[in-house]
Structure 1
């Protein structure tokens, strides 16, 4: 089996990477950073996000595992003291594939024949460097509301525990193929009126955000990637046809992760 190991870049993570690589080579596995079947990330959830984006073109062939060198994460669920156990599990190939939904975002710009398409594991956000975000929110081609405020966040179920939660969004189990739209400080008056609560849309729904003013430059993030774009005509979001594949060697229930991250006071 072919594998690759990515790292946060700090001394501790790099040392663990070297140990994992040597152990797996001893088991006759092959390092292949271009076409790996398994990608092991060493660091944190940020390291995991970077690796996923790097291998987005191999979602059907590559499964991901995260080893956390800090606190337990939502994506990186193995700890440094479990390296030998993890290596043995990988070598035996006794893992289960678990798939999570992703978010598809298409950005249409002026004088551009085809939109730029991006995939997100956590979320896409729309903001402006100066002034308010003013967009028509369209659902399946019909006007739902005219939004004005600091911005909007569209998240995946697995990303519902990230920025979305900080904005007051709901936590959604990743087995549900949905996307969630959450407002950032909306302005409600006689001109602008929004629903004022998060919207959870199913996989067969498409939402578009269309600027209503000539000032159509936006600060857009796709997970950890930021883009300052001019002449944006529309931003279209939907549940992606592609899915991310996790290699699971043991049960790690989603609600247990939520509990340990936000409720448990154990250190």
Structure 2
């Protein structure tokens, strides 16, 4: 990180956290890091909080490829936060040693009706906002695959496979695999309606198109990571793995499998 010295801090201010961050600021000044007031002026963006705060830091700063994102947790487990506000010594060690490495995480590129596009680091979710199931025609690379009926669908990245996708019994995917996963939310399977009924992992060069069947329930909630988007009357949602990758810093002794074992076993 020797060539990156401008740092923006992203966090929700409170007295307890502010005291800990002051200690971390002292460490930064010791190694000539400079705080900036706007993320556009930073080449390091550090979030303080859980994975949700890390996701918000990326979204609010525009999914910058030219910046390095660093997650510092506040004591809670996280897949994106390798550092801890209660362990400033480890943060200082990361600044002066070769015990860290930069990872590049894939993102999803989402287009809604050809009018609005955005990125996701964890997942795209589409859910019914009323107590009624709705139908989605699923196309892969232009070919009709199935008609889904149920509460919704989730498309996740490999890193996002441990989040909402995991709660739906989706597969945990090694982040070294570049692709996306389609997982159902409460699908209907009977003699009349039939869906795959299992998570579907797609290669990075696939294009997934979800066409919402207009049957009176055409107002789904569309979520980008941990944020609900105000998009109404959606008809067609295109999803593909983006060429844009997010760079983040992690400790070499904190591998993905370590995090999975710590979180779920």
In the alignment, does 2:50 pair up with 1:44? yes
Cα distance in structure 2, aligned partners of 1:92 and 1:30: 19
- More moved, 1-10 vs 239-248: 1-10
Question: How many pairs are equivalent?
Answer: 257
Cα distance in structure 1, aligned partners of 2:64 and 2:264: 32
Alignment of 1:1-267 (within 5 A): 1-32=5-36, 33=38, 34-59=40-65, 61-90=66-95, 95-108=100-113, 114-130=114-130, 131-215=132-216, 216-263=218-265
Q: Tell me by how many angstroms 1:200 deviates.
A: 0.2
Cα distance in structure 2, aligned partners of 1:55 and 1:227: 17
Gaps of 5+ in 1: 109-113
Query: CA contact under 8 A between 2:64 and 2:246: conserved in structure 1?
Result: no
Q: Tell me by how many angstroms 1:93 deviates.
A: 8.5
Change beyond 3 A, Cα 1:80–1:230: closer
- More moved, 3-12 vs 143-152: 3-12
Please report the RMSD computed on the Cα atoms of aligned residues, expressed in angstroms: 1.9
Cα distance in structure 2, aligned partners of 1:55 and 1:90: 23
Partner of 1:208, secondary structure, is strand
Q: Tell me by how many angstroms 1:85 deviates.
A: 3.2
Question: What CA deviation, in whole Å up to 9, does each residue of 1:100-119 have, x standing for no partner?
Answer: 111111111xxxxx421111
Question: What CA deviation, in whole Å up to 9, does each residue of 1:54-101 have, x standing for no partner?
Answer: 223422x11111111122311112123321331353367874221111
Cα distance in structure 2, aligned partners of 1:252 and 1:94: 10
Cα distance in structure 1, aligned partners of 2:64 and 2:105: 15
When normalised by structure 2's length, the TM-score is: 0.90
Partner of 2:185, secondary structure, is strand
Q: Tell me by how many angstroms 1:161 deviates.
A: 0.5
Partner of 2:170, secondary structure, is coil
Partner of 2:117, secondary structure, is strand
Gaps of 5+ in 2: none
- In the TM superposition, structure 1's runs of 4+ consecutive aligned residues that sit over 4 Å from their partners are 91-95
Query: CA contact under 8 A between 1:157 and 1:172: conserved in structure 2?
Result: yes
Change beyond 3 A, Cα 1:208–1:27: same
Q: Tell me by how many angstroms 1:192 deviates.
A: 2.4
